Amino acid sequence: MTWLRNLTTGLRSLISKPRVDSELDEELASFAASSAADKQRAGMSPREARRAARAEIGSVAAVKHQVWSSRWEGVLDNFFHDLRYSFRMMLKSPGFTLIALLSLALGIGANTAIFTLLNAILLRPLPVLKPQELYLFGPGRAAGSAGGLPDDKTQLFSYPFFREISQKTQSFSGIASLCSLQLGNYASIDGAPYTPVHIDLVSGNYFSVLGVPAFLGRTISTDDDRTAGAGPVAVASYAWFQRQFHGDPSALGKIIHIQEHDYTLIGVAQPGFFGVTVGQSTNLWIPLSMEKEVSPGWNGLNDKLFQSLYLIGRLKPGISVSQASAETNAFFKQVLRAEYVGNPPSQKELQAIQHASIELTPAERGISRLRRAFGLPLKILMTIVALVLLIACANIANMLLARGVARTREIAVRMALGASRARIVIQLLTESLLLACLGAGIGVALAWRTGAMLLNMAAPGPEPVPVNLTPDLPVLGFTLGITVVTALLFGMLPAFKATSLEFTPALKDGRGSSSAKTRGALSRSLIVGQVALSVLLLIAAGLFLHSLLKLTSIDTGFDKRNTLLFSMDSSTANLPHGTPDEIRSVHLQEQIEQRVQSIPGVKADSFAFFTFNEGGWTSDVTFNGIPRTPENSRAVANNNVGNGFFEAMGIPLVAGRAFNDHDTQTSPKVAIINETMAHRFFPNESPIGRRFGFGEDTAHSNDIEVVGVVKDAKYFGLTEDATMADYFPCTQNVGFYGNFLVRYAPGANRQLLVSQIRAAIAQTNPNILVTNVSSLEEQVDQSISTQSLIAKLSAFFGVLAVFLACIGIYGLLNYSVARRTSELGIRLALGAQSNSLLWMILRESIVLLTVGLVIGVPVALATTRILKSQLYELSPLDPLSISTAVAIIAVMTVFAAWLPARRATRIDPMTALRCE
Amino acid sequence: MPEFPKSEESEKAPSIPEPKSGDLVQGTLEMLILKTLALQPMHGYGVALRIEQVSGGVFRVNPGSLLPALSRMERAGHVKSEWRASENNRRAKYYLLTAKGRNALEAETEQWDRQAAAIRRILEA
């Protein structure tokens, strides 16, 4: 236990340093006294003896220092000493400290915020047992259900196929499945009011395959998932359990009422587990056997062609992915061949099976559509903020260099008094580290909530995206790492520079020593680097802004102004599904439409399956008597709408008629198509009165009659190409469509309208819940929210970068003007024109600017290619963005240089000449 | 009688004191201190003086290396210290050998003997 005693003694002597110091003093004094007494005995005079003894001991401070540094606590003591000293130095130059702290806080804060997002969305593994063994069948891009024979890279699977492969697989120790769509629903616990819940339907082995234990009770077992309708149990997520029951274990066994069925709460999953989809947060897991009960309109446990499940397998130890992939694909084709096609199979079916495949993708970090949407933008932002931090480092390094020159004398004195170079370098680095740590502290405080805010800006919606953004070990490690690296980056060079000085001239005046020249070269190259990086950032920002401008000026085809969009949920209204009675839903919609129509200020209103950027339903169509061409066999975007839809959207009718009350469930089936569809099928004639049907089969091509043609619009997103679209009346495609669009007269009181419309809906059916109110404008903005966030952030950071570069230039020139005061004074006294002096100073900054641009612009030209996929109809070499960036940085730097230059011309020759 | 052969020099350049233990093989200083203290408890100056006298003036130990060495050894538990009155009636810190220090001295002496013998054999070969 020697080390323990060592530790305690060390700490004790650290705490009572003054006592230890005075003891050392006394020991040394008695040493000197004994020595002097000896020398006196040897014949020296008392005075001589004392002198000799003192000389023998040398510097008392140095001896004490050596004793201290022979012990471990000496290092700590030095560190504390350095810290105190650093604090004093920081307080001595508040301007420098403020600018350095501010730029560090912004730089480190921005890096932390973006990394928090990057970590949560792209890097963090699932909190399950050995996540690296998990593989998803297919890339997990699609969600929903796919019908028809698989003929491509398959990602959604049917329940029968899941049962079969999970029993027969040799390569996986287990294969679990879950419904690819998280079901939003409403639940009532023990008769309490309904609250929204997010439900994942999962197979019985879901928890055991993932290796997620129960925190309380038990998880879902295979028995719960054996027979359809016979597993009315639910497992809650820990977070939901805490929210609903405040962690009360007696919640187990409570009854949760969802869609007219009761589920018993049997357990709570391990804390931290939110399901396997990043960006979704599951409240309840319910066995797939209850699919029909949870989701009445959308199910098919026995349907081979209702392919709606994700499959996740855990690889057996010792089996390679390629082995597993070979086995899985062979089995897949075998099942398709045996059960999915006719006997004998047609040529076409054989071809489809040929192309059908399952790609095993690592599921270590879960399934995520967020990752696809934000992956590249996040990496771009990460690069941008890293560059900003680099610029901030260059800036601080520059200021430290300048301070190093100002402190030449101080450092020379300390070295003359016996401080080693290493000691001073460490002290200077401690100053840098202190600065970086304080900056990081402020930065982390800034970043604390920024991550969530940014995510909300990137993906706005009624609810925040449930991504866990609490800082974890990787985030803290990252921040600590960049803080230390930052401190070394900006502190190292100035510290070494400051200590490599020549003593005599430095001690004499502390100015004009030979290091000033090299310092100048160093700061100049730092500024050139700053200018180059800033122009890179500005060009990127310009590209994003220009692209955003182009995006926002796209003609949507509909009028997004003066609209309200209500999202509704009917799951607690107990509407009929899949029965002839389902028309009741449509009648309910019509009642709401009529009631709202009569509110003053409402011009038009309509329910619709989709408005804009809400996903879609697409299919092939075939017109009676029209041969299929590559042009007209593309997918058509379908929509089911109310009678007032086109008026509410502001989409003009160009031929035929809109839907009206005569289009009923029993009247002939009708459709309205858009111009692109009309043109592709009928380049030269009117499509009115022509008939078409779904699919490639001509047997159905007489089903539906075209009664009208409307102008094209955007359907899924702003950047889509011309898309064929058709619309059907809700009466002929029954269902409750939760989108209710209202167009109001310009200038109407929106607030009042919203409450009146809410009241009208509640009057019609109080069980219909309005879950969100937005507008077409918001829908359009949301569809480009990522682009607009990137544009705004990159512009902010670009401007920040230029600002920092300008501070650098200002500082350098200001210093050089101050140093050359006497020279400038002489020049003025000898008759130099103030204009030529101005030019002399400005010239220096223009040289730096030019060199920076000469480096920065080609680098930008070479690298902006990576941004191509994020730019809309804009070349990464867009001359407008590049020239604007160059112009901005030129104007800013010249302005920054002009301030000190003007000061140079105002020097009074007399004062200047006296100054040194 | 102690001699001060380098006192002239040390008066000239007092500004940057360097530990003068370069004359001693690294690590042997502690052994010499242990050996010195094995006779009787001594204060710092006593140790320095004794080493210098016994070595015939070859080894001069100044406080810059003696005190850190004593501090290290005290921390390692080889010596302990107490304040006593010195011969000229001042308070002085006396160092005492501990049992652990005695063992260390034995071990170090033995090792030194082995090494010295080996070096001698090599030099005479």
Is B124 exposed, middle or buried (CB count within 10 Å of its CB: 0-12, 13-18, 19+)?
A: exposed
- Answer yes or no: is B103 within a domain: yes
Q: Answer with the residue of higher pLDDT: A214 or A406.
A: A214
Q: Is residue B42 a part of any domain in this protein? A: yes
Kindly state whether residue A678 falls inside one of the protein's structural domains: yes
- pLDDT, tens digit, 9 for 90 and up, residues B66-107: 888 888 888 888 999 888 887 777 788 899 999 999 999 999
Average pLDDT over residues A46-75: 82
Name the residue type at position A6: N
From the list B7, B68, B90, the residue facing A52 with the nearest CB is B7
Higher pLDDT among residues A746 and A915, named by residue: A746
Whether the CB of A507 is below 8 Å from some CB of chain B: the reply is no
Written in H, E and C, the secondary structure of A247-272 is CCHHHCCCEEEECCEEEEEEEEECCC
Asked if A174 and A239 sit in the same domain, the reply is yes
Chain A contact set for B43 (CB, 8 A): 27, 30-31, 34
- Asked if the Cβ–Cβ distance from A63 to B46 is below 8 Å, we say no
- Contact state of B17 with A39 under an 8 Å Cβ cutoff: no
Contact A57 B44 (CB under 8 A): no
User: Is the CB of A63 less than 8 angstroms away from the CB of B17?
Assistant: yes
Provide the pairing of β-strand A255-258 with A563-569: unpaired
For residues A69-91, average pLDDT: 83
Residues A805 and A904 in one domain: yes
> Has residue A380 been placed in a domain?
no
Asked whether residue A382 is domain-assigned, the answer is no
Q: What is the pLDDT of residue A616?
A: 78
Distance of CA A338 to the CA centre of its chain: 46
pLDDT at B14 over 80: no
Is the pLDDT assigned to residue B21 strictly greater than 50? no
Q: Does residue A785 lie within any of the structural domains?
A: yes
Residues of B in contact with A52 (CB under 8 A): 4, 7, 11
Give the mean model confidence (pLDDT) for residues A853-874: 90
Q: Is residue B9 part of a domain?
A: no
If asked whether residues A87 and A45 sit together in one domain, one would say: no
Question: How close B46 gets to chain A, by Cα (Å)?
Answer: 8
CA distances from A590 to A536, A640, A734, A735, A744 (A): 56, 13, 12, 12, 18
Q: Which residues of A touch B17 (CB under 8 A)?
A: 58-59, 62-63, 418
Interface with chain B: mutation pick from A67, A75, A413, highest number of B CBs within 10 Å: A67
**How far is B125 from chain A, CA to nearest CA, in Å?**
40
A111 alpha-carbon distance from chain centroid: 11
- As a whole number of Å, the end-to-end CA separation of chain A is 64
Same domain, A719 and A607: yes
For A282, the enclosing helix (H) or strand (E) is none
Split into its structural domains, chain B has a count of 1
Residue type, A60: V
pLDDT at A417 over 70: yes
Same domain, A22 and A51: yes
Determine, yes or no, domain membership for B18: no
Residue A847 lies in domain: 514-557+780-916
* Residue of A128 and A521 predicted with greater confidence: A128
Out of A474, A492, A511, a domain closes at: A511
Please report where in the chains the tokens 């299919």 appear, as a residue: A619
What are B96's two structure tokens? 């005492």
* CB atoms A70 and B64 under 8 Å: no
For residue A58, give the nearest of B4, B45, B64 by CB distance: B64
Residue A542 and residue A579 in one domain: no
Query: Is residue A196 included in any domain, yes or no?
Result: yes
Residue A201 CA to residue A203 CA, distance in Å, equals 7
Please give the torsion angle defined by the CA atoms of residues A725, A726, A729 and A732, in that order, rounded to the nearest 10 degrees: -130
CB contact under 8 Å between B45 and A34, yes or no, is: yes
- The total domain count for chain A is 5
In a domain, A394, yes or no: no
CB contact under 8 A, B92 and A30: yes
Cβ within 8 Å of residue A442, ≥6 positions away = A101, A104, A105, A109
For residue B60, tell me if it sits in a domain: yes
Asked whether residue A370 is domain-assigned, the answer is: no
Q: Is residue B41 part of a domain?
A: yes
In a domain, B118, yes or no: yes
* Chain B contact set for A70 (CB, 8 A): 68-69, 71-72
Instruction: Name which of A245-249, A491-495, A895-899, B8-12 the model is least confident about.
Output: B8-12
- Give the integer Cα–Cα distance in Å for A816 and A833: 19
DSSP A814-864: HHHHHHTHHHHHHHHHTT--HHHHHHHHHHHHHHHHHHHHHHHHHHHHHHG
Residue that has been written with the tokens 């009636």 in this structure:
B89
**ipTM of this complex:** 0.76
Instruction: Report in angstroms the alpha-carbon separations of A725 from A294, A617, A646, A704, A775.
Output: 32, 10, 13, 14, 22
Question: Mean pLDDT in chain B?
Answer: 79
Predicted local confidence at residue B17, as pLDDT:
39
Tell which of A767, A800, A829 closes a domain.
A767
Q: Say if A891 falls within a structural domain.
A: yes
Alpha-carbon distance of B33 to B24, in angstroms, equals: 12
Distance CA A447, CA A475 (A): 11
Task: Look at residues A790, A747, A766, A814 and name the one whose alpha carbon lies nearest to residue A601.
Answer: A747
- State whether A752 and A851 are in the same domain: no
Q: Which domain holds residue B39?
A: 26-124
Write down the residue that tokens 């007269």 correspond to: A745
CATH code for position B110:
1.10.10.10
The amino acid occupying position A404 is G
Domain match, A840 and A876 both: yes
Regarding whether A75 and A62 lie in a shared domain, the answer is no
Q: Does B101 touch chain A (CB under 8 A)?
A: no
DSSP annotation of A98: H
For residue A278, give the nearest of A200, A366, A201 by alpha carbon: A366
A164 and A186 part of one domain: yes
Mean pLDDT of A651-661: 94
B6 found inside a domain? no
pLDDT tens, position by position, A183-227 = 878 888 888 888 888 999 999 999 999 999 999 999 999 999 999
Angle of CA points A596, A599, A600, to nearest 5°: 150
pLDDT in tens, A155-170: 999 999 999 999 999 9
What is the reported pTM?
A: 0.77
Q: Is A351 helix (H, G, I), strand (E, B) or coil?
A: helix
The 10s digit of each residue's pLDDT in A554-582 is 999 999 999 999 998 887 777 887 778 88
